[in-house]
Structure 1
Amino acid sequence: MPIDPSSASAAATPSDDARLLTVGQAAAALGVTARTLKYYEELNLVVPARSGGRYRMYAESDLATFGRILRMRSLGFSIAAITEILKRPMRLVESGKSRMNEEDLQVVRDALHVQLDTLRERTVQVRRELREAESLEAQIAHDLQYIEQRLCGVPADQLLAERVARRRKPQSH
């Protein structure tokens, strides 16, 4: 019988132990592949119990978490946002639905702002490094061209004179 992850509780209960599922059973209950479950485990979004240190065993609460993850991914949330959201509890609101409260949303917003700022700084750095690498690449390609021509028998004096002439000519950017 498939488990409806939206109806499962968010916290593990003693009765969860009686209903531990294997990777295959959990994947079937959620309608995903075992690899999908392992992927989210690799990201530390869900950490299932282990049987004898060997097999992953999923409780109802794990399936509920997977259900949240899958819903958020289907709505286009990033892994970064999902990670932050999962750190906060869901609370029952007037409509009977579980939602995050405003305070928790602000904490998630602040955490995502920090991540975004860090990524923007890194992007600037990577672009600078890329420009430097492209410049070095062009210089080495130019040097290789000289060596290839020398190996083809072009006299060094001729090639060096051409290099000097190119360096003196204004370069267009």
Structure 2
Amino acid sequence: MPQDRPTLLTVRDAAERLNVTPRTLKYYEERGLVSPTRSEGRYRLYDENDLERFGRILRLRSLGFSLHGITEMLKRPLEPTEGGHNRFSNDSLKEIRDALTQQVGALDARIEAMRRELKEAQTLMGYLSNDLDYVERRLAGENAETLLKQRREAHAKRAQKKPKAQDESA
């Protein structure tokens, strides 16, 4: 009986053949790197093209490429070279570079926003620590007027230092 259909493997069989865990295959699917077909019972079924794609992903990961980089690379075809190897064309490499540069820029912007947020949180933490110190000292029986005078003096000192710090950074 001739086989017209390609051989389809379950996630367990495909994982065994690729020497990875089934969870690894599912993870790459969740990341959108592979889209296996599904059986009527909704089981994942992998064909030879899926296995080749997984092999490519696994090779790129073993070379240290990030999943973002791999995602960009998988969007472009490999082209045969004179040496018999498949490689990216210069145009494809430029597109990959541009996409990765854009992702790095977006991450830089996120990092900068997080740094600003962290600085604001640290400032707020300083204020709250001062408030907590005041309350604890009051509970310990220290005089409220003396503590308030100390707070006003400390606040005045901080206010005098701020303009100097801002002038230095300008």
Answer whether TM exceeds 0.5 for this pair: yes
May I ask how many residue pairs the two structures share in their alignment?
A: 159
Instruction: Find the counterpart in structure 1 of residue 145 from structure 2.
Output: 157
Are residue 58 (structure 1) and residue 56 (structure 2) matched? Answer: no
The Cα shift of 1:41 comes to 0.9
TM-score (norm 2): 0.85
Counterpart of 2:47, as a letter, is: A
Correspondence for 1:19: 7
Task: Flag the structure with higher helix content.
Answer: 2
Q: Give the counterpart of 1:115 among 82, 103, 111.
A: 103
Correspondence 1:129-140 to 2 at 5 A: 129-140=117-128
Q: Identify which of 36, 58, 63 aligns with 1:75.
A: 63
After TM superposition, the structure 1 stretch with the greater mean CA deviation from structure 2, 156-165 or 69-78, is 156-165
TM-superposed deviation, 1:53: 5.0
Match of 2:36 among 30, 36, 48: 48
Q: Bigger relative contact order, structure 1 or 2, given CA contacts below 8 A and separation 6+?
A: 1
Offset, 1:18: 3.2
Answering whether residue 94 of structure 2 is matched by residue 106 of structure 1, we say yes
Letter in 1 for 2:141: G
Shift of 1:100: 1.2
Aligned-pair distance for 1:153?
A: 2.5
Residue matched to 1:93: 81
Give distance in 1, aligned partners of 2:137 and 2:39.
67
User: Which whole-Å deviations, capped at 9, do the CAs of 1:98-141 have from their partners, x for residues lacking one?
Assistant: 11111111111111111111211222221111111111111111
Find out whether 1:145 has 2:133 as its counterpart: yes
1:13-60 C-alpha deviation (Å, 9 max, x unpaired): x96x53111111111111111111111111101111111252111111
Match of 1:33 among 14, 17, 21: 21
1:69: Cα distance to partner?
0.6
Q: Structure 2 CA distance, aligned partners of 1:145 and 1:52? A: 66
How far apart, in 1, do the equivalents of 2:107 and 2:157 lie? 40
In 2, Cα distance between equivalents of 1:120 and 1:150: 45
SS in 1 for 2:44: strand
Report the residue type matching 2:130 in the other structure: H
Identity over aligned residues, as a percent? 50
Is there any run of 5+ residues in structure 1 with no aligned partner, and where? 1-13
Normalising by structure 1, what TM-score? 0.84
Question: Residue 154 of structure 1 aligns to a residue in which SS?
Answer: coil
Unpaired stretches in structure 2, ≥5 consecutive residues: 166-170
